Every structure is written in C-alpha cells, then in structure tokens.
C-alpha cells in the first residue's frame, strides 16, 4: 500500500510539473500572439494536452482518448446532457433578476456585437472548458480516484480548482467558494459518466451563456452581443465586479445542478484508469477501447 501511494505521488508530481513547464514555455508566446484571453486559454489547453499525453504514454502506454474522450453514442448523449444542464443553470441565475427588474440589459455602442465575435468567443470558451477539464479531471484526477476513492479526490481537486481562480480579476471569497462548488460538481459529473464529455458540457454550457447576457465570467469582461446586464440589486445578488458566480443566486442554482447531474440519465462508460478489472466487465464498453 505504501509503495502504491509513493508511486501515485510521483505520478501526480510529474503530471503537475509537466503542465506548468509547458505553460512556462508556451504561455508567454501564446499571450504575445493572442492577447490575455486567447493566450491564457491557449496556454491552458496546450499544457493540459501535453501533460496528459506524456503521462499517459509514460505510465499507462495508452492514448489520451482513454481518459474519457472517446466519441461514441454515449459520449454524444453525455455531452448533450451537460450542455443542457450548464446552459439551463446559467439561465436560472440570470433570467429571474431580469424578470423582476432587479437587472436590465443595457446597450454598449462602444462594444458592438457581431457574428464573428460570437464565433471567436465561443471557440475560445470551448477550448478553455476542454483544457480545464482535461487538466483537472484528466490523468491526475483519474489516478487519484482509482487509488484514493471519490471523497479523497473530488473534494480536494474541486478546492484546488477554485484556488487557481484566485488570481482572476475581482476575485472574492464568495466567488471562490462557488467556484469550488463547480469544481466538485464537475468531479461528480465525471464520477457518474466516467468520460470527460459530461463535465465538459456542463462547464462550456455555463461559460457560453454568461457572455451572451453581458455579465462578467469569473471576473473576466467578455462582451459579445453589444449588451451588458446592469443590476439594481446589491452585490449579494449580482456578484459585483466578479460577476454572478459570486452571488447567492449561483449558490442556490448549484444545488439544483447537483440534483440534475444526480438524476439525469447519464451513460456510464468504461474507464481503463478508474475501473477495476472485475467491474469493467459490467460496464458499457466503448467501441474505441482496446479489447
């Protein structure tokens, strides 16, 4: 047992070091090429791919798709459920304040929206969701889950996910606490599906909806439609400069989203990293997994 824990610790350290080394090498170049938002998003995605690809080849002799990126019917279903949950949850946060006139949409003529801007931002948000899920729910998470179990994996990784958002503009304790809730939710989503498509769908669906309403996303100003959401309610409801993710509305909707992930008919796939051999025979096999 002690030898297994030592091996796991070494693998996790290598995984994290590879991620940050890649970010250190490519991050400045991507920031120079794409600016703050595109550069950071690109650095996260490239670093997550590199860390997962290398550790999977070194320790498992497997391909990166074996982390739960197979594309099959179950994957499509799980992605769809994730998108519906993420988009629906974001709307539950933002539509009621508009309905009761605690907020309203204000034109921003200096930042007009366009189809090209929406497509570009959508691609960036998709890349960001994939990169973050691949890093936080990828090799390190799955190895820890297999050895230490769900509680010792999902809770601490969710907290680390939140703490790495502390450097975001206007971050505060309420926003970080809600972000930890999302990190735990995405970990639970992986536990249910054993693929990355459900958490990617939830993550992207949420992130995609916020800029459409013109609200800050984790403290980041992303204007794409030519409108912004102006609040008459206080920071407890609006989240202030960090955005509604630092609001009590998000805290309540997070509970609804947990119930959604618990009850939705997720297609549980077979994971070569987290399923013990005896269990894998009872799980739905993926057509892209080696037999």
DSSP string, 169-185: TT--HHHHHHHHHHHHH
Does the pLDDT value for residue 279 go beyond 60? no
Would you say how long the chain is, in residues? 291
Structural domains counted in the chain: 1
**223 domain-assigned:** yes
Boundaries of domain holding 139: 72-270
Distance, in Å, from the CA atom of 286 to the CA atom of 76, rounded to the nearest integer, reads 12
Is 131 a member of any domain?
yes
Q: Is 76 domain-assigned?
A: yes
- Confidence class of residue 112 from pLDDT cuts 50, 70 and 90? confident
**In the block, residue with structure tokens 């972000």:** 179
- pLDDT tens-digit map of 7-39: 899 999 999 999 999 999 998 988 888 887 888
Model pLDDT, residue 277: 63
**Whether the predicted pLDDT of 283 surpasses 50:** no
Q: What is the pLDDT of residues 197-224, one digit of tens each?
A: 999 999 999 999 999 999 999 988 888 8
The answer to whether residue 3 sits within a structural domain is no
In a domain, 95, yes or no: yes
Model confidence at 114, in pLDDT bands (50, 70, 90)? confident
pLDDT tens figures, 135-193: 999 999 999 999 999 999 999 999 999 999 998 889 999 999 999 999 999 999 999 99
Nearest to 215 by CA among 137, 110, 105, 61: 105
Residue 289 resides in a domain = no
Is 4 inside a domain boundary? no
In a domain, 125, yes or no: yes
């Amino acid at each position: 047992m002690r030898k297994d824990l030592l091996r796991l610790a070494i693998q996790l350290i290598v995984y994290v070091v590879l991620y940050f080394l890649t970010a250190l090498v490519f991050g400045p170049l991507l920031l120079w090429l794409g600016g703050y938002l595109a550069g950071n998003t690109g650095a996260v995605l490239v670093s997550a791919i590199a860390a997962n690809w290398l550790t999977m080849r070194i320790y498992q002799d497997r391909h990166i798709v074996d982390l739960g990126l197979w594309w099959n019917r179950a994957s499509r279903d799980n992605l769809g459920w994730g998108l519906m949950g993420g988009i629906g949850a974001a709307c539950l946060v933002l539509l009621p304040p508009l309905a009761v006139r605690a907020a309203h949409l204000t034109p921003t003529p200096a930042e007009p929206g366009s189809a090209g801007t929406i497509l570009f931002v959508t691609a960036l948000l998709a890349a960001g969701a994939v990169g973050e899920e691949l890093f936080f729910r990828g090799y390190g998470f799955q190895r820890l889950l297999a050895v230490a179990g769900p509680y010792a994996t999902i809770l601490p990784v969710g907290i680390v996910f939140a703490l790495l958002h502390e450097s975001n503009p206007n971050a505060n304790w309420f926003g970080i606490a809600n972000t930890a809730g999302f990190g735990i939710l995405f970990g639970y989503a992986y536990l249910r599906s054993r693929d990355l498509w459900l958490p990617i769908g939830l993550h992207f669906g949420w992130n995609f909806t916020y800029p459409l309403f013109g609200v800050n996303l984790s403290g980041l100003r992303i204007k794409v439609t030519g409108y912004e959401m102006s609040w008459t309610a206080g920071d407890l409801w609006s989240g202030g400069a960090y955005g509604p993710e630092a609001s009590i509305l998000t805290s309540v909707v997070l509970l609804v989203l947990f119930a959604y992930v618990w009850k939705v008919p997720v297609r549980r796939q077979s994971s070569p990293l987290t399923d013990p051999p005896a269990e894998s025979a009872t799980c739905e096999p993926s057509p892209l997994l080696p037999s």
